[in-house]
Each structure stands twice: as C-alpha cells, then as structure tokens.
Amino acid sequence: MRLRPPHHFVPLGAATALLLSGLLSGLLSGCADSAQPETADRRSASKTPEERKTPAPGSGKPWEPDDAMQRAERALDAYEEDGSAAKLSDSGSAHLADGVHRTFQAPGKRWYRLDLTCDTSGERELTLTLTRGSAEQAYGIGCGDPEADQFNVPPGAPFTVRVDGVRTGSGLVLWRLNTVARDDVDGCDDDIEGCDG
C-alpha cells in the first residue's frame, strides 16, 4: 500500500490562476448586482408574459385567476349567515369566454335561489338572462362585487340561466343554486316573471 502525503499541492500555471481570478471576480460582481434594489423596468423585464397580467379593474393589481376565484367564493359565501337555512342544489363555474348556459330542474315545494357572481380582468358587468317557458328577464351582474347577486325562482317547470361569453376578456363566473323555504324568500318572489316596484 502506498501512503499519500497529508497535503498534496498542485502547482498552478499563470493561465489557471488568471481564470480562477476572473471566475471569483464574476461571482462577486453577481452578488453585488443582486444586492441592488430592483427597478420597475428590471422587474418587468424579468417576468414572463404570463406573469405580466392586466390589472384587475380599479385595484391597480394584476388580475390572477386564483385570487379571482377566492374573491368570487367570498362573494358567494356572503349570505351564509342570513338565517335562510339554504340547501345547496347545484354549483359551478365557467370561464368568461365560455359563458354559462344551464337548464335547471325545479321540483319540490322549496323556492330556488340563484347566487351568481363574476370576477374579470376587463369587464365590469355581465348580462344574466333567466328564462322559463315564454317568460324572460335580463339583469346586469356587477363583476368583482363583495356580495353575489341573488335571484328567486319558484318551484315548477325547468328554467334556464344564460350569461353570454366574452371572447376578448379573462375572467370567471361562479354560481350556486340553493333551495330555501318560502318564508325565507327575500325580495321578489319570481325574478323570471319579474316584480313591479
């Protein structure tokens, strides 16, 4: 067996020493660059196109799908403590470009309450159309509102919910269809037939 000396030095040539010196200098200057505060131009240039999103209306912040989903869910949850003992019948979401076109069955004796909201990067209002038979009503839905819009539909024949898609925008539409006791119906009894005053 051959023993190695405890310290084995390899002589460096001038070219190798110069190369190591240049690498060390580059590493140190990279650290100095990263210590400098980022300017708005540098931050923007370092982001991918997906990260450079348009601001949410009125917020000055970029519109992000995950944040939008959370805001929309909070708007739907705003009525959880209204004392109506609502029972969930159906729920869903749709991309703004696709819109919503759903027909719901409405059997039983309990009223149906549609809670609907939207959150988008450019549209402030969408149009909701409720249809049952020959009766039809259109409503404006404010996007980004802290509380979802609510619509009452009495039990009976199936009814259709339509929100036309917007191809030029980014966003989502969320809805929940609940049933409530007749005594818990707030506002108009039938938002498809409509109510005066």
Over the chain (197 residues), the average pLDDT of each successive run of 10 is: 42 46 45 42 37 45 80 87 82 94 96 94 92 96 92 97 90 94 91 84
Whether residue 132 contacts residue 192, with contact meaning beta carbons closer than 8 Å, is answered with yes
Do the Cβ atoms of 184 and 85 come closer than 8 Å?
Answer: yes
**Cα 162 from Cα 197, distance rounded (Å):** 24
Confidence (pLDDT) at 30: 46
Q: Are 75 and 121 in contact (CB under 8 A)?
A: no
Specify the pTM. Answer: 0.66
pLDDT value at residue 82:
66
Q: Which two tokens stand for residue 17?
A: 């020493």
Instruction: Judge contact between 105 and 60, C-beta under 8 A.
Output: no
